[in-house]
Amino acid sequence: MTTLEEGLNSIKAALLNAPNAPLSNKKKVDAEPLIDMIDDLILNTPAEIQKAKEIEKERQNILDDARRQANQIIKDANAQAQVLISEEEIVKQAHDYANAEAQRANEEAEKIIANAKAQDLAIRKAMVEKLNISLGEAHNVLSKCVADVTATHEALEKIAGPSDDAAPRKPKIIVPEN
């Protein structure tokens, strides 16, 4: 299984290493291996998307864990406050302690959630950047392939000479059967 980037690099290498067509500086390529490489990329692209979904799931797990930790801290602080209730001074101290713990827990929870959101944003940005780069490379390689095929076809038309009918012929791309 190749990654999108590896597949694109293989197609690029095949195009760069292809021999020149006779009497031309255009490349002569065998379409079948390139089509196989493109088919492999199409099959493996869903794996890249699945990886992005797993990253999103991991982000959600981080947020859920942060919320659970925050709730547990608050629950623990409240439980400690309940244990301290006895006399008037102890009740006041317990109340003050519970408030302080709740405030600390809320601040810690906010920090955990803010950190999880920052990690989520960084992961998403990196994922989008990587996908944009990969798609841009795929677009460039495929555009080059189409341009090379068109140029080769035009060169073949020139070699074959004018046709019997006066109308210009449109390029006809024939894909070899498997």
Amino acid at 88: E
Q: For residue 51, name the pLDDT band (cuts at 50, 70, 90).
A: confident
Give the mean pLDDT of 77-94: 71
The candidate with the shortest Cα–Cα distance to 2, out of 54, 51, 53, 37, is: 37
Q: What is residue 116's DSSP assignment?
A: H
26 assigned to some structural domain: yes
Q: Full-prediction pTM beyond 0.85?
A: no
Residue 169 lies in a domain: no
31 assigned to some structural domain: yes
Residue 178 covered by a domain: no
pLDDT value for 99: 93
Question: Is there a domain that residue 165 lies in?
Answer: no
151 within some domain:
yes
CB 153 within 8 A of CB 9: no
Task: Dig out the tokens for 91 from the structure.
Answer: 């009740």
For the chain, how many structural domains are there in total? 1
Is the model's pLDDT at 28 over the cut of 60?
yes
- Please indicate whether residue 83 or residue 32 has the higher confidence score (pLDDT): 32
**Which residue type, as a one-letter code, is found at position 20?**
N
pLDDT of residue 7: 81
Beta bridge partners of 20: 27
CA distance 16 to 19: 8
Integer-rounded Cα Rg, in Å, for the chain is 32
Q: How many CA atoms lie within 13 A of 92 on its CB side?
A: 2
Residue 160 neighbours by CB distance under 10 Å = 9
In the chain, the amino acid numbered 42 is: I
pLDDT for 83: 65
pLDDT at 16: 86
Closest CA to 124 of 15, 51, 178: 51
Closest by CA to 124, choosing from 60, 65, 66, is 60
Model confidence at 87: pLDDT above 80: no
- List pLDDT tens digits, range 123-167: 899 899 999 999 999 999 999 999 999 999 889 888 887 766 655
The tally of CA atoms less than 13 A away on the side-chain side of residue 80 is 16
96 within a domain of the structure (yes/no): yes
Residue 63: pLDDT band (50, 70, 90) is: confident
CA 160 – CA 8 distance, rounded (Å): 33
Judged by average pLDDT, the poorest of 27-31, 96-100, 132-136 is 27-31
18 lies in some domain:
yes
Residue 102: domain span: 4-160
